[in-house]
Amino acid sequence: MNEQYKEMAGRLIVALDYPDATQASALLQELEGIPCYIKVGMQLYYAAGPDFVRDLKTRGYKVFLDLKMHDIPNTVKGGAESITRLGVDMFNVHAAGGKDMMNAALDGVTKAIQSDRSLHKPLIIAVTQLTSTGQDVLNQEIGIPGTVKDAVLRYAELTKDAGLDGVVASAMESSDIASVCGTDFVTVTPGIRPAGSDQGDQKRVLTPGEAIRNGSSYIVVGRPITAAEKPRAAAEQIIKEMMEA
Ligand SMILES: O=C(O)c1cc(=O)[nH]c(=O)n1[C@@H]1O[C@H](COP(=O)(O)O)[C@@H](O)[C@H]1O
């Protein structure tokens, strides 16, 4: 396994969107040996809980816990504290909760680490506008005027001001986010669709290669791998495309 392969595989976050631990574990077995990041979202977490996350960490995986917290600051602080105690490497909140709420997430992480020095600080990432949100929905349903890009950049700046590590956005916005917030600011980009694959409910999509060329730090891929006839081959093809980008 060469260094470039390892680097790119580590920037691929595979979304384990499954209803139970058995099905999620079957995919992990299929991907055995590929050094990718693993994302646990609401569907799996609400079914399999913290034990599944602890087990992933025991087995050496990098874990992104995607629970998209959006609540009053005090509640988010407590949530962030509990999440940090699970030992995950990355978790997210909604930037729409505002600066105090995002600060509270950071406070919760700090409190957990101060109480247990064996814990490490996870990356705290704020969701800007969901990749399933298009221009019409933003303006007409949510009621935010202007372009999606402007709305994303505004949240990205707010996230940076709040002292968090980066944002979730579409890969379409990665290079603009880097221009505004700097290249050290992490961009986690779902809505990834290899050429010819089904877009599903995603609106702001790019291919794995386009995302890497646009400067995304990480790409998040679910169904193009989990629903593929041969998930391992699909993951390997995505990593190859990332390496060639
Ligand atoms: O926070 C996320 O991970 C997320 C944010 C976002 O804006 N869009 C988005 O699709 N996601 C997640 O990324 C994954 C994308 O899955 P697929 O559309 O199947 O590739 C899902 O687990 C979503 O919950």
Instruction: Give me the residue label for tokens 């060329």.
Output: 213
* C-alpha 160 – ligand 1 centre gap (Å): 21
* C-alpha 190 – ligand 1 centre gap (Å): 5
Asked if the ipTM is above 0.90, the reply is yes
Residues in the chain: 245
159-206 tens-digit pLDDT: 999 999 999 999 999 999 999 999 999 999 999 999 999 999 999 999
Residue 166 in contact with ligand 1 by CB distance below 6 A: no
- Run of H or E including 101: helix 99-115
pTM of the model: 0.98
What's the pLDDT band for 130 if we cut at 50, 70, 90? very high
User: Percent of the chain at pLDDT above 70?
Assistant: 100
Task: Give the amino acid at 233.
Answer: A
pLDDT reported for residue 1: 79
The yes-or-no answer on residue 99 being catalytic is: no
138 — phi, psi (to 5°)?
-60, -50
Residue 41 in contact with ligand 1 by CB distance below 6 A: yes
